[in-house]
Every structure is written in structure tokens, then in C-alpha cells.
């Protein structure tokens, strides 16, 4: 049985996201420059954010809370109220940043949705992710939307079984090796890496280059052709 369900990541696969995080981190470094050097602050916010993932999950809200916690820690509680105010403002800007699909995404989804059942599978805050999808204008291409706390093999097994014939007959495409590729392969699905030029260190992992169900493609526009090749090879 060929691939019938296609899972797609959202942030940095369909539209920009990490770019806004990097800009916010740069602003955060500037705000705390009187207390700590940039390299030390980067290590502190990275450790704080990873430590808090189990409490806050992924997304701008959790990142804002981690920035506030880090600011208080590195300043030993001496961070000025104005800096706290600016950190909160930076967090709000992340929540409000414009959502503009990458070039060619609309056309690729239009072609893919005519042949496959598309499921958006993304991590993050429910309200924020739903808002971004609505703002993108891409919602009508998807038969289902799954906003999850973490992407594990069990996550893909559950989603692809609910929306189709199981993970063996599904493919997942996204920009994260750790979240979109490795657990999908572990579940028995096909997995496609569509790289983005910026990658959060937490999402990085070695490429499974020898895996028969893995591929790396330059863009989403290349996905329809690859799926045809997979179908042809399985006949």
C-alpha cells in the first residue's frame, strides 16, 4: 500500500520562525549587557529554556518566561524594571510577528493536497500555533491539525493511525532532524528533511543518511516529485 498520509511541520517548514527567536535573543543580549557577556548569557538562556521545556513546553510564551528567569539569575535579582518591561514586550512581539509562507509553499500544498491527506503536526502553544496557521492562509489544505507537546515515535504512530492506515503508509516532512525525522523513522514512516538555514541546537541531530526511508530535499516544492519516485519504487 503506497503513502496516503503526509505529515508536515509548521515553523521553519512552511514559514519563518527561528529567525524571530534569533532576533529576540540578540535584543535580550543587549538588554543584559551590563550584567553578563553575550557568550555566558547565551549558555544561561539555553540551559534555562531546556530545563523549562517540561514545564512550559515549546513556544514564545515559554521562551519569554525563560528569558525573565535568566535575567533575574544573571543579575542576581538586580535587573531594572524597565528591562523586565522590555523583555515582556519582546515576547509579545514574537507572538505577533507576521506569518508569511515561504515562496512556493502554497503551490506545493495545493499539489500535494490533491493526492494525499495532509496533516499539520507541530509543537508549541495551542493558541499561538492555531493563530499562525489561520494567518498563513494555508489551513484549507489540511485535513487535520495536531499540536503536540513533543514529537516522539508514539506520537507519529498515534496520529498516522488515526488519520490513515498507520505510520508505514505515511511520510513526515519538516526541518528538524530530532523532531520530524528520527521519531517518524522509528515509528516506521518515511521522513523527509527540508533544511532551514537556522536550527535551534536542541533540534539538531546526526542525519540518518543510510536509512532507506529517509530523504533530504532542498524545498517543499521538491516533495511531490519525491513522493512519486517512492510510489514508483514500491510497485
> What is the per-residue pLDDT for 29?
95
User: Is pLDDT of 1 > 60?
Assistant: no
User: Is pLDDT of 67 > 70?
Assistant: yes
The Cα–Cα gap between 124 and 95 comes to 12
> What is the per-residue pLDDT for 18?
81
Instruction: For CATH 3.40.50.1000, list the domain ranges present in the chain.
Output: 5-15+100-233
% of the chain beyond a pLDDT of 90: 72
**Pairing relationship of beta strands 5-8 and 170-174 according to DSSP bridges:** parallel
What class has domain 5-15+100-233?
alpha beta
> What is the per-residue pLDDT for 86?
96
For range 95-121, the mean pLDDT:
93
Smallest CA-to-CA distance from 113 within 122, 105, 103 is with 105
Element (H, E) at 111: helix 105-113
Query: pTM for the full model?
Result: 0.86
Residues 6+ apart with CB under 8 A from 207: 177, 181, 193, 214, 216
Instruction: For CATH 1.10.150.240, list the domain ranges present in the chain.
Output: 18-96
Domain 18-96 maps to which CATH number in 1.10.150.240, 1.10.645.10, 3.40.1160.10, 3.40.50.300? 1.10.150.240
CA neighbours within 13 Å on the CB side: how many for 66? Answer: 26
Amino acid at each position: 500500500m503506497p503513502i496516503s498520509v503526509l505529515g508536515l511541520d509548521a515553523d521553519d517548514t512552511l514559514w519563518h520562525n527561528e529567525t524571530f527567536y534569533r532576533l529576540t535573543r540578540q535584543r535580550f543580549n543587549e538588554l543584559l549587557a551590563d550584567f553578563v557577556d553575550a557568550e555566558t548569557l547565551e549558555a544561561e538562556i539555553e540551559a534555562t529554556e531546556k530545563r523549562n521545556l517540561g514545564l512550559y513546553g515549546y513556544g514564545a510564551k515559554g521562551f519569554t518566561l525563560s528569558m525573565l528567569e535568566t535575567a533575574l539569575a544573571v543579575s542576581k535579582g538586580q535587573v531594572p524594571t524597565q528591562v523586565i518591561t522590555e523583555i515582556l514586550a519582546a515576547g509579545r512581539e514574537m507572538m505577533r510577528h507576521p506569518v508569511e509562507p515561504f515562496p512556493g509553499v502554497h503551490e506545493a500544498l495545493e499539489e500535494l493536497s490533491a493526492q494525499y491527506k495532509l496533516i499539520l503536526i507541530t509543537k508549541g502553544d495551542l493558541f499561538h500555533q492555531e493563530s499562525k496557521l489561520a494567518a498563513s492562509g494555508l489551513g484549507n489544505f489540511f485535513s487535520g491539525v495536531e499540536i503536540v507537546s513533543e514529537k516522539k515515535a508514539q506520537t507519529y504512530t498515534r496520529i498516522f493511525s488515526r488519520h490513515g492506515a498507520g505510520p508505514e503508509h505515511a511520510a513526515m516532512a519538516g526541518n528538524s532532524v530530532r523532531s520530524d525525522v528520527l521519531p517518524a523513522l522509528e515509528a516506521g514512516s518515511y521522513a523527509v528533511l527540508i533544511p532551514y538555514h537556522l536550527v535551534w541546537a536542541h533540534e539538531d541531530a546526526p542525519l540518518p543518511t543510510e536509512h532507506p526511508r529517509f530523504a533530504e530535499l532542498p524545498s517543499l516544492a521538491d516533495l511531490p516529485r519525491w513522493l512519486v519516485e517512492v510510489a514508483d519504487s514500491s510497485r
